[in-house]
Structure 1
Amino acid sequence: MNIHTIFGAGGAVSDQLLPVLLNNKENVRLVSRTVKQIDGVESVAADATNYQQTLQAIKGSSVVYLLIGLPYDIRVWRAQWPVIMTNVINACKETGAKLIFFDNVYMYGKVNGWMTEETPFNPCSKKGEVRAGIAGQLLQETRAGNLQAMIARSADFYGPVGFKTSVPNLLVIQNLLKGKKSQWLGSADQPHSITYVPDAAKALYLLANKPEAFGETWHLPTSSELITGRRFIQQAAALMQKPDGVTVIPNWMLSLAALFNVTMKELKEMNYQNEYPYLFSSEKFNKAFGFTPTSYEEGIKETVAWALKNNQ
């Protein structure tokens, strides 16, 4: 029996991937630190920093999706990410499971032009150094032929996924729902690619079912349209019949907030991504799978509809 195992159940990407798997009649195992029972799905409690728990959770899996999201704190990342990656790699090697690691773009650092799968690792942040380390570890094991694995990389994301892990959802959609002015980090006028999470979830399943996709890095489907924070806000505000004004949160304000708030301190380190063009290319995936990413117009429309329906 083939089992698709999701490490990081309950997260934004997991919640979009689960219905894709179920609609395709796959056997699914959800793994998280605390079990949440869902009809027709196996749920397992495991701590990925514990090897034996990780191994037991992976046994019998055909594909493992590593979708874990750790608290946005560099101290936690440094302590836990290398352990988690080592445990998951070793468990997949021991059981023969294939591994798909859902990654971000922090390891690229500041990029002049479009980010592609060939963009070299050049982190300019502490969190980027951690991500470069664990991605490099997986690539080394894969190239050595020790396991079948791939990296599936996403830009910043948005969609019907809540507000905890999507900055556009949090600063734009949620503020508009509350009758507040939208906010944006860095510059509202720099182009900034944003991945629509339902597209990313569909892509993960397509990749899992293409044997020749393993051993490579893939950028998940993201619209190639150039969109700015200001344009994102204008489209969302028009749909919600709200004012489209924006308060830009500059670096100096983040620096001040960082003195009193750990999350603001962590965001400040990454704010270079919002001050310069942030261009993410998924041309390799689009061509390989004949996939057309959701347009920003349609993605924002769906996200707003979800938010209004759920009054999040």
Structure 2
Amino acid sequence: MNRHVIVGKGAVGTTLAHLLADQGDDVLVLSRSGGTSTGRIAHAAADAGDVDSLSRAAEGADVLYNCASPAYHRWPTDWPPLWASMLESAARTGAVLVTAGNLYGYATHGAVMTEDSPLTSTDAKGAVRAQMWRDAEARHRAGDLRVTEVRGADYVGPRADSQALAGPQFLGPLRAGRVVRTVVAVDQPHSWTYLPDFARALVAAGRTPEAWGHGWHVPTAEPLTLRELGARFAVGGPAPRIRPVPAAVVRALGVVSPLLREVAAVSDHFTRPYVMDTARSSQVLGLVATPWDDAIAETLGLTTVGGRA
């Protein structure tokens, strides 16, 4: 039995906590608001940006997971001190630091992303995520700590929340036959990471020494356009009606909405192909992506997660 500490109780952190507990491990989830402890999952209120507090909470942990999610428009200000605290806590405690990353650091311009793609994004959010990994990699190479990053695409799954492009705000109206308004281009191929696959990849990376010191992609099924994804989720219901919000409207709304202003700044994520390759990570982590039919059924509650046998 191992002890795991997770920073953040959003969709990724919660999915991860339940996976670890189901495997018989003890889990401590840290967040600003805390929560109700159940079974092997304990919750505690903590400021992860306070290195002394975080180090005390992570003492004796085999793995420390970063599943935090600062407000979208506050990444450049909130991530650096929070990440510095996590790095130092991992160095003090000896826990393997596994961070739930994303694809923002890549400068893709429509190319398929691999783990070797350069982390040279020029937008503010991508630049901060890229610098986070460079800082971690440098400390790993210096022998200060053990760290790895697992990068997922936009996620879908049973615990997807309001931050997910294909979460309840998408599935609710879609399944009800109403028009779905989205900022995503509906006919560009896009990678979508299944949340349970994300959690499994995080666990595997923490347990695989060969994965430490490198970034890895979550094994992810074949890309789908948003229109194709909607058609998959519409199984047994009315045909999806998906209408993109014009980019000019998004930019105009961004004048008063910090969230939409940041969405407009990364519009290339939505208006060009946004696809990642996961062949290498599948080999190193020993995982394969959940097939789309199973992922859709599990997300809609038509079968239980993990009940594909």
Quote the Cα distance in structure 2 between the aligned partners of 1:191 and 1:214. 30
Quote the Cα distance in structure 2 between the aligned partners of 1:277 and 1:5. 35
**Among 221, 225, 228, which residue is 2:225 paired with?**
228
Aligned match of 2:306: none
Aligned match of 2:258: 262
**CA offsets, 1:190-223, max 9 Å, x none?**
1001000111111211222222221221111111
- For residue 170 of structure 1, report the CA deviation from its aligned partner: 4.3
**What amino acid sits opposite 1:234 in the alignment?**
A
Aligned match of 2:307: none
**CA offsets, 1:125-172, max 9 Å, x none?**
111111112121111111211111111111111111243221112453
Quote the Cα distance in structure 2 between the aligned partners of 1:136 and 1:254. 32
Note the aligned Cα RMSD (angstroms).
1.9
Aligned match of 1:288: 284
Helix, strand or coil at the partner of 1:292: coil
- For residue 109 of structure 1, report the CA deviation from its aligned partner: 2.5
- For residue 238 of structure 1, report the CA deviation from its aligned partner: 2.9
Quote the Cα distance in structure 2 between the aligned partners of 1:297 and 1:263. 32
**What amino acid sits opposite 1:233 in the alignment?**
G
Quote the Cα distance in structure 2 between the aligned partners of 1:38 and 1:66. 19
Aligned match of 1:310: none
1:158 lines up with 2:156 in the alignment: yes
Helix, strand or coil at the partner of 2:161: coil
**CA offsets, 1:228-254, max 9 Å, x none?**
111111121233x12312101221121
Aligned match of 2:305: none
**CA offsets, 1:58-115, max 9 Å, x none?**
1121110011001111xx3222211111111111111111100111111102344211
1:34 lines up with 2:33 in the alignment: yes
Q: Which runs of 5+ in 2 are unaligned?
A: 303-309
On the 8 A contact 2:11/2:161 being kept in 1, the answer is no
Aligned match of 2:144: 146
Aligned match of 2:63: 63
The TM-score, its normalising length taken from structure 2, stands at 0.92
**What amino acid sits opposite 2:51 in the alignment?**
Y
**What amino acid sits opposite 2:16 in the alignment?**
L
Range moving further from structure 2, 49-58 or 277-286: 49-58
Quote the Cα distance in structure 2 between the aligned partners of 1:266 and 1:248. 17
On the 8 A contact 1:230/1:246 being kept in 2, the answer is yes
Aligned match of 1:6: 6
Aligned match of 2:116: 118
On the 8 A contact 2:254/2:261 being kept in 1, the answer is yes
Helix, strand or coil at the partner of 1:265: helix
- For residue 179 of structure 1, report the CA deviation from its aligned partner: 4.4
Quote the Cα distance in structure 1 between the aligned partners of 2:126 and 2:113. 15
Aligned match of 2:215: 217
Aligned match of 2:18: 19
Aligned match of 2:238: 242
Quote the Cα distance in structure 2 between the aligned partners of 1:296 and 1:237. 13
Quote the Cα distance in structure 1 between the aligned partners of 2:7 and 2:273. 32
Quote the Cα distance in structure 1 between the aligned partners of 2:286 and 2:90. 30
1:194 lines up with 2:202 in the alignment: no
The TM-score, its normalising length taken from structure 1, stands at 0.91
On the 8 A contact 1:163/1:174 being kept in 2, the answer is no
Aligned residues: 302
On the 8 A contact 1:81/1:130 being kept in 2, the answer is yes
> Cα gap change, 1:164/1:291 in structure 2, threshold over 3 Å: closer, same or farther?
same
Aligned match of 2:47: 47
On the 8 A contact 1:171/1:183 being kept in 2, the answer is no
